Copies of this chain bind each other. A is one copy, B any other.
Amino acid sequence: MANSIEANCLLCMQRSDIFRNLNDNELHSVNSCRVSIKYHQGEILFKQGSPCHDFVCITSGMVKLYLESESDKRIIIGFVKPVDYIFVPGAFTDKRHHFTAVACEETTACLVGSDVFQQIVEANSAFSSAFLNKISEQAIRMFEQLSSLTHKQMPGRIADVLLCLSQKIYNANPFVTSLSRQDIADMSGMTKESAIRIMKTFKDDNLIRTEGDLIELLNIPLLETISRNG
């Protein structure tokens, strides 16, 4: 395996909680069909609507997940960072991908055949239970996003996105991002122009500072108030 960056799954185990629930046999079957692949920025890991064959775990870089609509509009539903896996609901139902995954930057991912994975889920209850916890968190995040996108006006939605990026995605305050304004617009359900305009007003009001790919939140309490007031 030319692209493989880890010798086996043990390295991953130290970081991705869910694999702690696997025994040696299970780990071996995962490892034996594991493939590590490198993606360049903008490359697609899998596409909405396509059949899902593999369980995907991100080992470096970052991936964005988005829904595509008929009218070519996108909505970003989440990001996946190392070491974490992409929960693909279609793997348990119609074997189709229901969103698209794209590398935001140079990214490496381990792929494991979803049949192997599925067998383990069905056999190992600690594993599937850990999986349940993970999905539950994701469901709760989806509720928050749905609430934000449908009930808040643009300033509240942009505030939500900026706080999310700083506090959940990058875990840093000035943070450097590879996301474009279009991506931020896709996260907050508006056009690129509107996202830029709102960010401009935030800059004018000294709520944030931007410099190239860097964004700094200067007044988090006020951003939180804007988020709360919608």
Interfacial residues, chain A to chain B (CB-CB below 8 A): 67, 69-71, 73, 75, 77, 87, 89-93, 98-99, 121-126, 128-129, 131-133, 135-140, 142-143, 145-147, 149-152, 189, 228-230
- The answer on a CB contact under 8 Å between A71 and B146 is no
Q: Are A98 and B135 in contact (CB under 8 A)?
A: no
Closest to A138 in B: B139
CB pair B75–A146 under 8 Å, yes or no, is yes
Nearest neighbor of A149 in chain B, beta-carbon distance: B150
Whether the pair B133, A132 counts as a contact (CB closer than 8 A) is no
Q: Interface SS of chain A: helix, strand, loop or mixed?
A: helix
Q: Smallest CB–CB gap between A36 and chain B, Å?
A: 26
**Which interface residue of A71, A87, A151 has the most chain B CB atoms within 10 A?**
A151
Contact among B124, B135, B142 for A146, CB-based, below 8 A? B142
The residue in chain B whose Cβ has the minimal distance to the Cβ of A148 is: B69
Check A136–B92 contact: CB distance below 8 A: yes
